[in-house]
Amino acid sequence: MAGKSCLLAGECASCSSCLGAGPGWRAVSSWHREDRCRSAGIGCENRIRAWRHAGSVSHAHRTGSASLEQRTYNSRSLKVSDPILPAIRDPELIVNKTKVFTLTDSTLKPVFPASISNSFDLVDCYNVLEDLRLASNGSVLYYVLDQRCYSQLNGSDSEEFASSWLYSVRKAERRSGSGGWEAFQNDSLITYWWAFNDSDGMRPSSPIIFNENSTMEPMMWLNGMDLSDEGTTLVLTTETFEALGNPLEEDTAMVTLLSAVNGTRRSIPLPGMTARGMAFDPTKTNAYLVDTAYPPRLMSADFGALLGNSASITGDMLFKPEATFPREMGLNLSNLLVRPQGFTPDGSCLYIVDQMEDSIFAVDLSTRNITLVADRKAVDLEEGRKETLTEVVVTKDGCNVFVTDIDGYLRWIQLKAQCSEAQTADVVAYYTEGGFWGLAIQEDDNGVWLGP
């Protein structure tokens, strides 16, 4: 996918008091009844209305409400005049949509070669914005740009490999306190990714274009990112990625403290851990990630100790187990991702997306209980599709979870109670032209802005 890459935003209208003091969501569901969600022990009514029916769903990927009671129904979608913007399932739920950030060709040029070796065919290229993180006042957007081209041997069915691959951490800005619709501008580089043997130091002076089918030294790729309160430090979870001709004996994970000002970095090794994701709780008391070494565990470290540790400290001295995923779940829990906006506001519940099994989990941090919120059947993924879910965010009441997937569907999961099982799962928007990867949420008294 050459050319521009966009960040899209949609605003959800308000109706109930389930979000607390301000107005809440105009809930959408095909359940013909009133529904109840309990948030932090307080009951709050969601006025549920039915879908307006007009024609059957006929998309290659199912785009309707994923009933947990296996119901069928008809629905409609709103036609989109701008092909860059996603289609909206219900215009009364999502009342507006716009492009709030667009990457230009000049930003995307470094990774895409004009030609490739005569021995290989160029299969596909794409640009992905992921790990979206908003500053507390909404004025700065931090994100990871993942740019890749895949190739394979001429005329063969051999396995594809990343022939050109570049990660970079970037930021874009808008006026402080501006609303959800004002576009981000002034995109700038914080750092390119770096080599495994260069885990501390200044940002690379030029982009390192990685070829997987080579003997290049391993790179550190990013699978999680959060932002300190002051907006000066990005905390990343990183892991080695090696070339086919230069394999490592074992992968190495690190937590990297990256200056959002000048791109300098300092890394903390995580010996013996396979770390995934990164998030701070709302009070910035603890940092969380998942160690997927069997059995997978949710780990936490004191936020202050993590930012201020000495060079002699390693991550295993800082991160301690919080909860262990039960073995009897029978799932391949090898890619569990902690995300910054997966916490409820009081920090008592954390929602985690499982990219391998396409499931959502909730961790009750007061009891250390882990609940399967929704599996791939509940979120209604197409049969045979795997490893599609990407990001998870939660509203202030803790009862509404939004999830994106790489096929381009934005799902709204309503819960029976905070940190409990799903009650309904609905597709509220879809964008099959390029898929959804990152996701950010911003709430105020006028509604909720989602940026997939």
> Does the CA dihedral 192-197-200-205 come out positive or negative?
negative
- 334-369 burial: b if 16+ Cβ within 10 Å, else e: ebbbbbbbbbbbbbbbbbbbbbbbbbbbbbbbeeee
Mean pLDDT of all residues in 187-193 = 94
Mean pLDDT of all residues in 284-294 = 93
Task: Find the Cα–Cα–Cα–Cα dihedral 247, 248, 250, 255, rounded to 10°.
Answer: -120
Q: Is the pLDDT of residue 148 over 60?
A: yes
> pLDDT over 70 for what percent of the chain?
65
| pLDDT at position 210 | 94
The rounded mean pLDDT for the chain is 74
What distances in angstroms separate CA 73 from CA 52, 372, 432, one per listed residue?
A: 10, 26, 22
Of 136 and 248, the one with more pLDDT: 248
Mean pLDDT of all residues in 66-89 = 38
Rounded distance between C-alpha atoms, residue 87 and residue 408, angstroms: 10
Q: Which regions of 219-327 does DSSP assign to beta strands (E)? A: 219-227, 233-241, 253-259, 265-269, 275-280, 286-291, 297-302, 320-324
| pLDDT at position 378 | 77
Q: Are 205 and 195 in contact (CB under 8 A)?
A: no
| pLDDT at position 64 | 37
Mean pLDDT of all residues in 244-249 = 92
> pLDDT over 90 for what percent of the chain?
33
Q: Which regions of 331-376 does DSSP assign to beta strands (E)? A: 336-343, 349-354, 359-364, 369-374
Rounded distance between C-alpha atoms, residue 416 and residue 76, angstroms: 26
Per-residue pLDDT tens digits for 344-393: 989 999 999 888 788 899 999 999 999 999 887 777 766 556 657 888 88
Establish how many alpha carbons lie within 13 A of residue 409's alpha carbon, considering only the half-sphere containing its beta carbon. 22
Rounded distance between C-alpha atoms, residue 12 and residue 400, angstroms: 12
Q: Are 143 and 171 in contact (CB under 8 A)?
A: yes
Topology of domain 5-451 in CATH is Neuraminidase (2.120.10)
End-to-end CA distance of the chain: 17
